[in-house]
Amino acid sequence: MNRRDIVLALAALGAAPRLAAQAARVPTIGTLSGSAVTDLLVRDFFKGMAELGYEEGKSVRYLRRHGDGTNQTALQVARELVAAKVDLIWAPGTQVVTAARLATNTLPIVFALVSDPVASGLVQSLARPGTNATGLTILNADTGAKRIQLLDEIFPKLKRVGVLHNPADTASIAQLSVVSESLHALGKEMLVIEASAPKQIAPALARLAAWRPSALVILENAFFVANRKTLLEFAAKHRWPTINSSNEWVDAGGVLSYGAAWGDSCRRSAVYVDKILKGAKPADLPVERAAKFELIINLKAAKAMGLSIPGAVRLRADQVIE
Per-residue model confidence as pLDDT tens digits over 265-293 = 999 999 999 999 999 999 999 999 988 89
Residue 272: give its domain's CATH number. Answer: 3.40.50.2300
> Cβ–Cβ contacts within 10 Å for residue 266, how many?
26
Do 49 and 196 lie in one domain? The reply is: no
Paired residues of 193 in beta bridges: 164
Do 94 and 217 lie in one domain? The reply is: no
Which of 254, 261, 190, 182 minimizes the C-alpha distance to 224? 254
Do 197 and 302 lie in one domain? The reply is: yes
Do 188 and 58 lie in one domain? The reply is: no
240 three-class SS: coil
Do 195 and 210 lie in one domain? The reply is: yes
Do 168 and 266 lie in one domain? The reply is: no
Do 107 and 180 lie in one domain? The reply is: no
Per-residue model confidence as pLDDT tens digits over 89-98 = 999 999 999 9
Total domain count for the chain?
A: 2
Domain hosting 218: range is: 140-261+294-321
Task: Quote the pTM value.
Answer: 0.85
Which of 233, 209, 247, 245 minimizes the C-alpha distance to 304? 233
CA distance 97 to 110: 8
Q: What is the chain's mean pLDDT, rounded?
A: 92
Query: Based on the number of CB atoms within 10 Å of its own CB, is 233 exposed (0-12), middle (13-18) or buried (19 or more)?
Result: exposed
Per-residue pLDDT, 3: 57
Indicate if the pLDDT at residue 6 is higher than 80.
no
Indicate if the pLDDT at residue 321 is higher than 50.
yes
Which of 135, 138, 137 minimizes the C-alpha distance to 272? 135
Per-residue model confidence as pLDDT tens digits over 123-177 = 999 999 999 999 999 977 778 999 999 999 999 999 999 999 999 998 899 899 9
Do 244 and 316 lie in one domain? The reply is: yes
> Cβ–Cβ contacts within 10 Å for residue 316, how many?
11
Mean pLDDT across 32-41: 90
Do 303 and 278 lie in one domain? The reply is: no
Do 105 and 171 lie in one domain? The reply is: no
Indicate if the pLDDT at residue 48 is higher than 80.
yes
Do 302 and 168 lie in one domain? The reply is: yes
Do 161 and 112 lie in one domain? The reply is: no
